[in-house]
Chains A and B, each alone.
Chain A
């Protein structure tokens, strides 16, 4: 099903250009001398001044480190948890299988993002307020990851496992040496979705952190934007926003196809 009409394609390019305006304006404003005239094509000279100012005003390096720690640790723990669980679910045929699947569907239907009130109380009871662990904990047992791997592991031929078992390989060896290397596509999809989600997550980290030592980039930007609300420092805010967006955007522009496929397979499951 396709429309190969020239006029339609031309229209799509116009709309596509409009879609890029916020990004283009942000980038242009971040890299040019401050002005009060807003234009998509910068009118003032090129400069790094905004970035210099932002790095002086905002502990951006610290926030970067925090976000990287959160993203890397979250994915690493998720990786282990969903691999073990995904294997057990793919093998199936055990008492309580339906119960586990029920819990998984529960999380797929009710995302953790809406449970901020009760989960905050849990974090308080665990005395984990204002820690990175608090930011990560609710997302470590990822139903989406478990389901994704279960589906992927199920498609793998059992002949391989049987052969390994006859050779005396343990369950752990079978998982890490046969299943994991054969599910690279599923892991890549999950990694891209998990990393983008936690790089961009805002409301939950805002609630559970209140110090520079634990704040991720997104909360840091919101705090900075709030502190400069009255002064119209477009250049600084845009530089800060640019610094936060650019790692993921660059990765996306380079690995566009993998990104889009990952989001599709993680979404549909």
Chain B
């Protein structure tokens, strides 16, 4: 009895000091993560502009307007296409590079730097440079296509057919090296015993890749898919520099649409509604990570 009471007061004391130590972190996280999440949900039901300071409750009005707006659906479609065009290729490239650069050979350090350096470059600076590379006429892509295939590709950033692939290509260049390092670290954690055993059994490269490496790397793949999906949604700096959503919203992506609604059209209620939709998507995305949080590694 006495022992239990002592333990309780010990925990109570600890609670006080823990909360004092955590106070700054918790206050900031509540102000800029928890509160804004609920505020977006609330503002999504409101008419909130730039100037009228008190939001007016309008129920589902923002959502019904959005769902009736072809631009909204176009943005959703663009975002899905952009995700498909970036997440899968950058993962395939990142994994392929990791397989190669996991070896020891002269120049491996240089190659890792070559593939990773776009990650430490500001997207905004990279996009300024890529804009010139994509220029019609004497831009690098245009003149390459001209001299090799004798095709005049024109202005690839203002053609509805090519604008999203162009954004995706630049994005893959920027992200593949980032994903590569997670695969590299995953590969380095694999025990070589498996591969030695496979070799003795006569399994070739492809066989051990499919039957040993890929299954063992399951958790790395899951993790990479998740960060890459989140990244490809949240980053829109390249849209600001390269296209501003043009032509005719063909390159307008969800996060840029939110920015546009809020700051160009001063419809913060509608922007909050789109944010809420995005939040729901991100929460669904996090479910697998949440469910398997305690079981970290399956094999070993």
Contact = CB atoms under 8 A, between A and B. Distances in A.
A48 interface: no
Contacts of B128: 221, 225, 237-238, 240-241
B26 A141 contact: yes
A218 B124 CA distance: 6
Interface string A99-133: 01001111101111111111111100000000000
Q: Considering the complex of A and B, which 7 residue pairs feature the smallest CB-CB distances, nearest first? A: A141-B28, A118-B36, A85-B25, A200-B122, A2-B103, A16-B114, A241-B125
B130 A118 contact: no
Interface string A139-177: 111010010000000000000000000000001000000
B87 to A, nearest CB: 16
B31 interface: yes
Interface in A220-236: 221-222, 225, 232, 234
Contact of B111 (A16, A87, A217, A251): A16
A200 B209 CA distance: 37
B121 interface: yes
Could you say which of A94, A109, A117 has the most chain B C-beta atoms within 10 Å of its C-beta? A117
A152 to B, nearest CB: 16
Interface string B98-141: 01111111010111111111111111111011111101001110
Q: Majority SS of interface residues in chain A?
A: helix
Could you say which of B11, B105, B114, B115 has the most chain A C-beta atoms within 10 Å of its C-beta? B114
A260 B179 CA distance: 11
Contacts of A141: 24-29, 31-33
A16 B110 contact: yes
Given A25-B140, A207-B263, A260-B112, A218 B99 contact: no
A82 interface: yes
Given A2-B104, A171-B21, 12 more contacts: A26-B129, A107-B29, A110-B283, A117-B262, A118-B37, A143-B29, A203-B236, A203-B255, A203-B259, A222-B240, A237-B132, A238-B132
8 contacts: A19-B177, A82-B25, A110-B283, A114-B278, A121-B43, A138-B32, A143-B33, A248-B120
Given A94-B18, A196-B120, A218-B122, A106 B100 contact: no
A2 to B, nearest CB: 4
B34 interface: yes
Contact of A234 (B114, B130, B132): B132
